[in-house]
Structure 1
Amino acid sequence: MNEISIDIENVTVAYHGKVALHSASLQLKAGTICGLVGMNGAGKSTLFKAIMGFVKPASGKISINGLSIRQVQKNNLVAYVPQSEEVDWNFPVSVHDVVMMGRYGYMNLLRIPRSPDKQAVKEALERVEMWQMCDRQIGELSGGQKKRTFFARTLAQQGTVLLLDEPFAGVDIKTEKMMIDLLIDLRQAGHTILISTHDLASITTFCDQVVLINRSILAYGDTSEVFTEENLSRAFGGSVGDFSSAKSRATQRHQEEQSWT
């Protein structure tokens, strides 16, 4: 049996006295791809920030691989792919430099890359087919290339837990399939992957587990059991739309992906 990778117990997070996440509890085993589903303002980003140690819970506790968040940060165990909106694309930095940022936790204070850092960056860029563009400025990239670059940064960091915030927004089907294939490879290698997404149609194609969130964890578990119309209505307040249409789009997407193989 796989060991518990992410363990969240009765976590409450508040900003300026306003509760953003209430008594959230969740356990994910290693070797899992889990979709994090909920409407805007449901607490998805807050949950990510709590796992990364960017916000301190008012109550409850979080551990990763049995370690405290401080230990997790020290050992570079959690890697993060942000939403495009969180990135300053005008900042003058190259693709190679962005991916090298994933190695900062392994460097000394002067942040001078060593041979293992350079090799990790090269391998990561090759895996996402971006090595030939390593000197390109990030502001010159297409939406899919930007996502690949930050995904490569995550690969270079070599964390065992990956948090991805809307990783498929603005990317083409081919790029999405390549990223999903890499995520499946990482899952098979024992990584734990938590993906925030609004694309309900993609959940059933590659997520083996789902977490439904609306200011707290409403339900989580195997996709076949949790990803139901009833649970989605709870998460979206009855505004989820045509669930059968989402399932139909998932089938169509799977067929399109098969055509790339």
Structure 2
Amino acid sequence: MSEVAVAGRRPESGPPAFRVTGAVVAYDGRPVLDGVSFEVPRGEVLAILGPNGSGKSTLARAMLGVVPLLRGGVEVHGVPVRRFRQWNRIGYVPQRLTVGGGVPATVREVVASGQVARLRRLRLPGAADRAAVDEALATVGLTDRARDSVHELSGGQQQRVLIARALAGRPDTFVMDEPMAGVDAASQRALADAVGELRRRGHTVVMVLHELGPLRPLIGRAIVLGHGRIVRDGVPPRLSGAPVPEDGPDREHVHPHADEPPLAPAVPSLEVPRRD
């Protein structure tokens, strides 16, 4: 991946990429997150694990200000999330691709849409912007599908489009919600390659996962949720050795799901997946 695909410099010292303090979220009076607190230092690759219904996706959305907190707080790069405005620094990868309106969009068009937060109003994409799209497509192995409709792609290829869209915006912080759910082995490897490059460049990556798969060697820390609370924070659990809560944050299987009902995003550039 070249310097145009993602920001080339390593993150500077300063506040953590995310700080979550006493986060409480409830749906219809039912707690989904119950007093969650942790920090994500800049440059860390963090996995958020847990069984279905544990609050993984809700936590990721709360970190981006998409889900309102009942109590507690979230800071993004040292700024309360509701006052944070540098959304060009954040690359969000939702669970699935949604292209509405019935208008066919090409792979390249969807990837280029990831630059909206960076481009100033009324400014057309320049050579560097087009090169960033090219590099993002190459990173996920979809250069040869750039002119195809996204509707012609497999689920795994569509997930790669979402990753490329995030890369094209050249952020320094990534949040990925179940990027490996229901995707094929080739797409899992492509994701691992992309995350490995982001890690090498010192970017922050937070991934909601139900399995680790080929990402395991890249993840230095895992937070495991159970019933809306952190039950483990440290080295990613393994199938043998460290105990795993309930039935599955470390099981090696593909399990697409939606933890919680959909909510409208607070930030237009962030897309919230629909419930199955």
- State TM-score, norm by structure 2: 0.76
Structure 1 SS opposite 2:57: helix
Q: Distance in 1 between matches of 2:122 and 2:109?
A: 15
Q: Distance in 2 between matches of 1:60 and 1:79?
A: 24
In the alignment, which residue of structure 1 is the partner of 2:230? 217
Q: Which amino acid aligns with 1:217?
A: I
Matched, 1:87 2:98: yes
One of 73, 76, 96 as aligned partner of 2:88: 76
What does the per-residue CA deviation read over 1:218-254, in whole Å, with 9 as the maximum and x for residues that have no partner?
22123369x9643x22xx2xx349x7xx58x9xxxxx
Pairing of 1:146-161 with structure 2 (within 5 A): 146-161=158-173
What does the per-residue CA deviation read over 1:22-77, in whole Å, with 9 as the maximum and x for residues that have no partner?
11101122222222111111111111111111122122111122123245443422
Uncovered stretches (5+) of structure 2, i.e. residues with no partner: 1-11, 254-276
* Alignment CA distance shift 1:126-1:71 (3 Å): farther
* Alignment CA distance shift 1:116-1:203 (3 Å): closer
In the alignment, which residue of structure 2 is the partner of 1:195? 207
In the alignment, which residue of structure 1 is the partner of 2:72? 60
Q: Which amino acid aligns with 2:233?
A: Y
Question: Does the Cα contact within 8 Å between 1:91 and 1:139 map onto a contact in 2?
Answer: no
Q: Which amino acid aligns with 1:170?
A: G
Q: Which moved more, 1:171-180 or 1:20-29?
A: 171-180
Question: Does the Cα contact within 8 Å between 1:128 and 1:152 map onto a contact in 2?
Answer: yes
Pairing of 1:128-207 with structure 2 (within 5 A): 128-202=140-214, 204-207=216-219
* Alignment CA distance shift 1:197-1:127 (3 Å): same
Pairing of 1:220-239 with structure 2 (within 5 A): 220-223=233-236, 229-230=242-243, 232-233=244-245, 236=246, 239=247
- State TM-score, norm by structure 1: 0.79
Q: Which moved more, 1:26-35 or 1:114-123?
A: 114-123
Matched, 1:34 2:30: no
Q: Distance in 1 between matches of 2:79 and 2:146?
A: 35
Tell me the CA shift for residue 10 of structure 1.
Answer: 0.7
Question: Does the Cα contact within 8 Å between 1:13 and 1:56 map onto a contact in 2?
Answer: yes
Q: Which moved more, 1:181-190 or 1:195-204?
A: 195-204
Q: Distance in 2 between matches of 1:96 and 1:114?
A: 15
Question: Does the Cα contact within 8 Å between 2:99 and 2:105 map onto a contact in 1?
Answer: no
Tell me the number of residue pairs that the alignment of Structure 1 and Structure 2 aligns: 238
Tell me the CA shift for residue 78 of structure 1.
Answer: 1.8
Q: Which amino acid aligns with 2:234?
A: G
* Alignment CA distance shift 1:191-1:72 (3 Å): farther
Question: Does the Cα contact within 8 Å between 1:26 and 1:217 map onto a contact in 2?
Answer: no
Question: Does the Cα contact within 8 Å between 2:24 and 2:71 map onto a contact in 1?
Answer: yes
Question: Does the Cα contact within 8 Å between 2:192 and 2:214 map onto a contact in 1?
Answer: no
Q: Distance in 2 between matches of 1:205 and 1:109?
A: 41
Q: Which moved more, 1:177-186 or 1:108-117?
A: 108-117
Q: Which amino acid aligns with 1:54?
A: V
Question: Does the Cα contact within 8 Å between 1:76 and 1:105 map onto a contact in 2?
Answer: yes
* Alignment CA distance shift 1:160-1:8 (3 Å): same
Structure 2 SS opposite 1:63: strand
Uncovered stretches (5+) of structure 1, i.e. residues with no partner: 250-261
In the alignment, which residue of structure 2 is the partner of 1:253? none
Q: Which amino acid aligns with 2:81?
A: I
Q: Distance in 1 between matches of 2:103 and 2:214?
A: 32
Tell me the CA shift for residue 183 of structure 1.
Answer: 0.6
CA RMSD of aligned residues (A): 2.8
Tell me the CA shift for residue 136 of structure 1.
Answer: 0.9
Tell me the CA shift for residue 153 of structure 1.
Answer: 0.5
Tell me the CA shift for residue 20 of structure 1.
Answer: 1.7
Q: Which moved more, 1:105-114 or 1:54-63?
A: 105-114
Work out the percentage of aligned pairs sharing the same amino acid. Answer: 29
Matched, 1:127 2:139: yes
Question: Does the Cα contact within 8 Å between 2:112 and 2:133 map onto a contact in 1?
Answer: yes
